[in-house]
Structure 1
Amino acid sequence: MKKSLLFTMFIAFVLLLAACGGSNDGASSDGSIPEEITIGYFPNINHVAGMVAEEKDLYAQNFPDGTTVNYQYFPDGSSFMTALAAGEIEGGLVGPGPAMNHYTSGSEINVVAGGSTGGTVIMTRADSGIETPEDLAGKTFISPRVGCTHDVQFETQMNEEYNLTSDRTGGEMKHVTGEPATYHSMFVSGKVDAATVPEPWASVIEEEGSGEVLIDTPEVAYGETLPAAVFVTSQNLIDNNPELVQKIVDGHKQATDFIEQNPEESKIIASEKIEEITGQGLSASVIDRAWERINFTYEVDSKVLQEFADSSFELEFLKDKPDLSNLVDASFIESKVADASASN
């Protein structure tokens, strides 16, 4: 109960921050580097690059001396995208679902790098009696948000392989939403039967014994190819201050390289940061299990994003058939990492 209360307080706090604003948009007309820059990310294991960059101060290494780099933490993609549109953050890591949904709704944003792939697990309550996906008919499943990345993965698979749909479109499965950190307690209380779960919360549920894996990451729709997190910034920032965007992406690339070269230290950073933000500590075994389901990469496949967006449209999350041909701008990840000493 204390952990749930802490997470609820965290959500209220970050939403209050988003409402208050206070960051510049970094898009100075002369292309100069602003004195303060704010990067956003979620307390999810798929966003470890943000945690490593913060812990190792990697963004600041690419900026002139005296530049302050702030970090803002988000409970969901909607609040992240709202903050980006308001100029409260210069960019950061978010799920591809919110990025694509806002882009197709007219938001002038770009995906400038990948963050990670994998990490979604479809799980069932331990005593639910569900043995196969077909058994989900008439059951209640939970996802972080309607139409979020994990929801689309789940509903795509259920629709295409098992002819099951949610009650949103008159189907057989009841859909509710909630924060992934609460899924363990939701299973224990019997309030939900199944969940589409991002790591590390899938591994938490496994360790606690409240749920079982029904479909693991490699078999989930888009499980190992879809970016679980992408790095997004505004088109305005790209147009008016491409040098700033390049330096931010350089820091993100350095963080991703650090994760690959120092996995054990990166796990410690992730564990401590998630506990700091959410109030929920994670065991080493949970982190290890979650790590096996995730690939950290700054590369991003625009073709997979388009296929995923098409699935969102077919599931009626999007009103119009999407065209993501200009969503991804890979020019920044194709550039070499800037020499930090030359920027200071």
Structure 2
Amino acid sequence: MKRKNSLLFILAASTILVLSACSSDSAGDKEEVVIGYFPNIDHVPAMIAKEKNYYEEALGDDINVTYKTFPDGGAFMIALKTGDIDAGLVGPGPVMNNYANGADVKIISGASSGGTVVVASEQSGIESVDEFDNKTFITPGIGCTHDVQMETFLQDLGITSARIGGTLKHVTGNPAQYQGMFESGQVDLAAVPEPWASTLVAEGAKVIIDTDEIAYGTTLPNTVLVTTGKLLEENNDLIKKISSAHEKSVQFINDNPEESQTIANDSIEQITNQRLDESIVANAFERVTYTTDVDAEVVQAFADSSYDLKFLTEKPEFSELVVTEDLSLSSAQE
């Protein structure tokens, strides 16, 4: 958490509008907390919290809450490490990879699970995993959550990527571009989160590996709430309030799924200039479970898979990655 320079704030606010910009009221010398997230269905808890002002309510009038969105986990983790954000939602893959390399990051809550689907382009003609040899698949990033899930599933079938000596080629890219890459024949398969999976299916793609089939599909958090160990230690009360606001947001989603779908779609459109068909959002919500639960044993098993697939150079030990202390609002007020 950082002290804002009021002059720099005024200049920045008057010259450029960005998604991470502070509110237009006079922040003065208020402390600032920056929350990061991605514009996709896995990250709906952040969109709900922003819409409903849950972070603002929890943190109080003396703190100015701002938001910043990211295209991928790598960019998010850089921002967390440099202090550009204080907490936020990200996939567990980038968290584990960075933690294993010495990054100061802590998982303080789950956010969502499920939602990862492997689809094949209509042009590829692929009907099953038996036809993956010499094909090209795409994921949002190397070693990202969806990449590890897919490659773990395939490894059990004796299929590996070219990165580790197999024949299945791998590229990365923004999920919003996958349909164009399918149509051009650049890629044949995509391991993709919702709502992009439902979007691709609506355009003719075929589901090859569904959420309940892919490795860790229903047990692994595909999005977690993280912060730094330094901030957790130095301002534990702040983190408890952030965690409690996040928990309130997850509860709202489960109590109000239809309103949450509308808020999510509005938010994604505002950020990406693309509005999703309501049926696609509804289908995506069917595959995603919003929960604050985090199973540390599953996190460790997923990390072991990352090591087996050579995304990590050393066998990981994540016993202290997931915070187990009580971070509820009642605990923060004690």
Normalised to the residue count of structure 2, the TM-score between the two structures is 0.89
Gapped regions of structure 1 (runs ≥ 5)? 1-16, 24-32
Judge conservation of contact 1:249–1:332 (CA < 8 Å) in 2. Answer: no
3-state DSSP of counterpart to 1:217: coil
Give the Å deviation of 1:128: 1.0
Alignment correspondent of 1:95:
91
Superposed counterparts of 1:284-299, under 5 Å: 284-299=278-293
Alignment correspondent of 1:147:
143
Gapped regions of structure 2 (runs ≥ 5)? 1-15, 23-28
CA RMSD of aligned residues (A): 1.9
> Partners in 1 of 2:310 and 2:220 — Cα distance?
19
Cα offsets for 1:300-344 (capped at 9, x unmatched): 1111000000000000000000000000003244564768xx9xx
Structure 2 residue corresponding to 1:135, chosen from 131, 138, 141: 131
- 1:72 corresponds to 2:64: no
Judge conservation of contact 1:119–1:199 (CA < 8 Å) in 2. Answer: yes
- 1:174/1:248 CA distance change after superposition, 3 Å: same
- 1:34/1:85 CA distance change after superposition, 3 Å: farther
Cα offsets for 1:275-309 (capped at 9, x unmatched): 11111110110000000000001111111000000
- 1:57/1:338 CA distance change after superposition, 3 Å: farther
3-state DSSP of counterpart to 2:57: helix
Give the Å deviation of 1:167: 0.9
Cα offsets for 1:29-52 (capped at 9, x unmatched): xxxx96211000001100000000
Superposed counterparts of 1:215-254, under 5 Å: 215-254=209-248
3-state DSSP of counterpart to 2:54: coil
Alignment correspondent of 1:6:
none
> Partners in 2 of 1:65 and 1:99 — Cα distance?
31
Alignment correspondent of 1:200:
195
Give the Å deviation of 1:67: 2.0
Q: Which has the higher contact order (CA 8 A, sep 6+)?
A: 1
- 1:338/1:237 CA distance change after superposition, 3 Å: closer
Cα offsets for 1:248-279 (capped at 9, x unmatched): 10110111111111111100000011111111
Judge conservation of contact 1:203–1:286 (CA < 8 Å) in 2. Answer: yes
Structure 2 residue corresponding to 1:39, chosen from 13, 35, 38: 35
- 1:141/1:324 CA distance change after superposition, 3 Å: same
Superposed counterparts of 1:322-333, under 5 Å: 322-333=316-327
Normalised to the residue count of structure 1, the TM-score between the two structures is 0.87
Moved more, 178-187 or 308-317: 178-187
> Partners in 1 of 2:30 and 2:332 — Cα distance?
18
> Partners in 1 of 2:190 and 2:279 — Cα distance?
21
- 1:120 corresponds to 2:116: yes
> Partners in 2 of 1:289 and 1:51 — Cα distance?
18
Identity of aligned residues (%): 49
Cα offsets for 1:58-92 (capped at 9, x unmatched): 00101222421100000000111111111111110
Question: For this pair of structures, how many residues does the alignment match?
Answer: 310
One-letter amino acid of the structure 2 residue matched with residue 166 of structure 1: S
One-letter amino acid of the structure 1 residue matched with residue 232 of structure 2: I
> Partners in 2 of 1:221 and 1:239 — Cα distance?
34
One-letter amino acid of the structure 2 residue matched with residue 159 of structure 1: Q
Cα offsets for 1:85-137 (capped at 9, x unmatched): 11111110000000000101001111000010000000001121211101000
One-letter amino acid of the structure 2 residue matched with residue 206 of structure 1: V
